[in-house]
Structures are given as structure tokens and as C-alpha cells.
Structure 1
């Protein structure tokens, strides 16, 4: 197999994050599902934005957060996602390229505005997301650069992309190209409600051999296998004969393979400020370790370190140089 040009290629929603703090009363008054992600239309986005307090605005999206984290860890990274040729789109492109991520997906000239996600962070650090997908849902198979996919060691798919049919088709195309080229495909389940909607399709990707690596948190894993018992869910994941990385918040993570289960502790944090992007950055650290041929425990520890950095400040972009931070913690890449 030829050497890869990129360590990690992410395909996902290109979304501008609008992040604000709120209390539980605000969530209740607005009828919001705490800790989840809800798709909203442009009109609802405008109403909710006006009701929110002062906000931090930053380019985001789950898979984009992951590839930016991987780049901060020293990986070569690329991203495919759809924007509109508007001010938000231009800002997004500047931000992701400034983070040393290759991005060349053509912007839409018409249609809905660039997507945005209104993120409300409660005092306990939980984030409640309300997403207007906008231009994101118009990602299509034509946007998938075949050479880019073939040149990427790991192709990382965002589960949220299964909502728009055209975007789902684009990710399926990328997975098939990667599989034919002998590259690895990773899938993040994204959200338990997303799993509820596409359980059979996600299991189909796993069982067909299209996906070799799965990222999930506890609630997503419970949803995937429709069981409230963690050990039962882990046993079912182990039987799939793939690599599973399951995050458990302060309990750390569990690495699952056909050969066994390995629990890895979380990194200690002083104060949890905002859990937005914790899973995304865990995946970044894990994939960075994997592309550098680290053992699974080390991969999980790098992921835990990256997640710990991200939850101690507002926003899903690292404020520290993660590669330097890893080296300082005995996890040099």
C-alpha cells in the first residue's frame, strides 16, 4: 500500500458554533432536551439566538473538531464538508486552514446559508446543541475527492451526517473508496438520538466490514444495542470483531477488541467548564496515537488528555498545543 499523504481525513458537518452559558430554567423554558442535539430550521435558529446570552462564535462541527485536534497533535489532516459562499463560510474556511487542516470542498453559490450550531452550556458543563444544518446537508457525492480519500490513512465519518440523504450517500462513497484502497474507516456514532434513528444502518456498516473503528459514549452504545446494561453492550460490541473506543466521562474509556476489553482512566481536571467537543477530541487523540503506531492504552491516554484539555474551557478547539501537552505528560508523538 502506498504511503498516505494524510493521517486523518474527516467528513462531517461544517458548522459555525455559537456557544453561550444558560441555566436549566432557560432550557426548560425553551423546551430544550438537555445534553442532546436537536435539528432546527433557520427561523427557530434566529429565535433561539436572540434569546441566548452573550456568545462565543467559532467554527465547529464534530468531525472538524476531531481533525483540528489531530492536527494540533502533529498529524497531517484534511476535511470534507459543505459551506455556502457567505461570510460565515469564509470565516470557517479561514479558521480550519489556519489550524493546518487541508480543506478544499467547493462552496455552494446558492441555497441555504452556512450551517450553525447554537450550544448552551449549563453550570455542570453539559452542552445542549440546536443545529441548523443549512448548507451542510447539501454535501453530495460530487464533493468527495477520490484521490484525497485514497491518500488518507484513516477516513473518519461523522454519524450526524446520516440525517441528510445526499450527505449520507457522500460518506458511503468515501467509505467504499477507502475500503477499496485498503485504508481504515472510523465511524463516530455522534449522539444517542442519532443512533436511535439509524441503528440498523450503523450496524450494517460495522457488520459489512465497511467500518473498522467505532467511537461511542455510553449512551450511544446502549442505544446501539438496545440494552441498559453496560457490560452486555460491551460484550456485543466485542463480538463485532472491530476496534471500539467507548468513552465514559470521568470514568475514562474502554477499548474493545475481539481479544478483550481494556479500561483506561480519565485525566484529572481541575474544573469542568464545557463538555462540548470532549468526544471529538478524545477521538483526535486516539486516532493520532493510532496513526503513529502506539498501543491501544497509549492511544486512549492521548485521547483522554486531549478531552481533558477541551473540557476546561469554553469551545471545542484546543487552546494548548496538544502535541507539546502530550510530550509534557510522557505521551510524545
Structure 2
């Protein structure tokens, strides 16, 4: 098998994040569930945007955030996602490529604008996401660069993109190409919303051994296994994948690979400002570790370091030097 040209190729929703402060009272007035993610249509996106406080825009989307984190660590990262040929699409492309990520998927005019997510951040750092998927859900099989997939050591896919059939077909084809090329496939369950909505499809991917590395947080793995206790859920899911990674917020993270298990604590932080992107950057650190031959513990520690950095400021992209923070782990 030839050496990969890219360490990790990420596939996901190309979304511009629109981030604003909000109070718990505002969430209640808008009928929003704190710390949740919901999909909205264009009309609701406009209505909520009009009600929000002044906001700032940053390129986002789970897989895009992960790709940016890998690049910040010094890894060779790529991204596949769909934007429209509009102002936000151009902004997204420039922002991601400026971060050092290879993004060659062409923009396509599918009659809807580039996706955006209105993210409301409460004073305790928790975020409530309201996402209009727009062009992102129109990612199609025919825009995939299959040679790019074959030349990537790890293919990483976000569960959020499983929702629309067109994008789901593209993800399935990408997995097929990666497995035919004997590359690793990593998959994130992304959100409890995704597990509840797509448990059957996710279960099939896992049971058919199409996933090598599975990412989940504690709530997602409990829902996926259909049990109330973490250790029972880990015992049920871990044997079905090569590597299972479970993040637990302030309680740290764990990973299981065969007979090996590793647990690491969360990195200490001065203040949690915004949890947006914590899981995405954890995945970036872990995948960078896996791509560069680190041990299971070292990969988990890299994930914890990246997650700790991103929750100390607004936005889901690193602002500090991740390589410096990781020290010898990033060497």
C-alpha cells in the first residue's frame, strides 16, 4: 500500500457558524432547548438571525473543524464538502484553505445558499445550535475525488451528514473507496439527535465492519448501545470496531482497541467560554496521533489538549499554537 499523501481526509457539512451570546431567558423565549442541535429551514434561519444579538462569522462544520485542527498540529489534512457559489461559500473556502487544509470540492449551484449555523452561547459556555444545511446536504457522489480518498491514510466522516440521501450516498461511496484502498475509516456519531434519527443506518455501518475508528460522547454511546451504563455500552460496542473513542467532557475520555484500554483526564482550563467544537478538536488530536503512529494514550492526550484549547474562546477553530501546546506529542 503506497504511503498516503494526506494524513486525514474529512467529509462533512460545509457550514459557516454565526456565533452570538445569549441568555437562558432568550433561549426560553425562543422555545429552544439549551445545549441542543436542531435543523431549521431558510425561513426559521432568517427569523432567528433577526432576533440574535450581534454575531461573528467563522467557517465551521464538524469535519471542517477537525481538518483545521489536524492542519494546526502540522498534519496533512483535506476536506470534502459542498458550498454554493455565493459570498458565504467563498468565505468558507478561503477560511479553510488559509488554515492549511486541502479543499478542492467545486462549488455547485443547487438552488440553495451555503449552509450556516446560528450558535447561541450562554454565559456558562454551553451552545445551542440552529442549523440550516442549505447546499451542504447536496454533496453528491459525482463531486468526490476518489484519488484523493485513496491517497489519504484515514477517511473521517461526520454523522451529521448522514441525514440527506444525496450526501449519504456520497459518504457510502467514499467509505467503499477507502476500504478498497485498505485505508482506515473513522466515523463520528456527532450528536444524540443523529443517533436517535439514524440508529439503524449507524448500526449497519458498525455491524458490517465498515468503521475502524468510532467517536462518540457518553450520551451518544449509551443511546447507540441502548443501555443506561457507560461500561455496559463500551462492552457492547467496542468489539465491533477496531478502536472505540468515548469523550466524557470534564471526566476526560477513554479508548478501547482490542484488549487495550486507555483513560485520560480532561486537561485543566482557566475558564470554559464556548464548548462549540470541543468534540471536533478532540477528534483532530486523536486522529493526528493515529496518523503519526502515537500510542492510544498519546492520541487521547492530544485530543484532550486540542479540546481544552478550543473551549477557552469563542468559535470552533484553534487560536493558540496547538503544536506548542502539544509539545513532544506533536513531534
TM-score normalized by the length of structure 1: 0.98
Contiguous gaps of at least 5 residues in structure 1: none
Give the conservation status (yes or no) of the 8 Å contact 1:238–1:260. Answer: no
Give the conservation status (yes or no) of the 8 Å contact 1:155–1:185. Answer: yes
How many pairs were matched up? 331
Give the conservation status (yes or no) of the 8 Å contact 1:158–1:187. Answer: yes
1:70-89 → structure 2 map (5 Å cutoff): 70-89=70-89
Corresponding residue of 2:32: 32
CA displacement at 1:109 relative to structure 2: 2.5
Query: In angstroms, what is the RMSD of aligned CA positions?
Result: 0.9
Q: Secondary structure at the match of 2:88?
A: helix
Q: Secondary structure at the match of 1:331?
A: helix
Q: Secondary structure at the match of 1:244?
A: strand
Corresponding residue of 1:159: 159
The answer as to 2:303 corresponding to 1:319 is no
Once residues 188 and 108 of structure 2 are traced to their aligned partners in structure 1, the CA distance between those partners, rounded to angstroms, is: 26
Q: Secondary structure at the match of 2:330?
A: coil
Give the conservation status (yes or no) of the 8 Å contact 1:20–1:54. Answer: yes
The answer as to 2:116 corresponding to 1:116 is yes
Corresponding residue of 1:50: 50
1:1-333 → structure 2 map (5 Å cutoff): 1-327=1-327, 330-333=328-331
TM-score normalized by the length of structure 2: 0.98
Q: Summarize deviations over 1:92-115 as a string: whole Å, max 9, x none.
A: 110001001001111112410000
CA displacement at 1:331 relative to structure 2: 2.1
Once residues 141 and 276 of structure 1 are traced to their aligned partners in structure 2, the CA distance between those partners, rounded to angstroms, is: 29
Relative to structure 1, the CA distance from residue 36 to residue 112 in structure 2 (aligned partners, 3 Å threshold; closer, same or farther) is same
Q: Flag as ranges the 4+ runs of structure 1 deviating above 3 A.
A: none
Structure 1 residues 224-233 or 13-22, which shifts more? 224-233
Once residues 223 and 124 of structure 1 are traced to their aligned partners in structure 2, the CA distance between those partners, rounded to angstroms, is: 26
Q: Summarize deviations over 1:46-92 as a string: whole Å, max 9, x none.
A: 01011111112101100000010000001101100000000000111
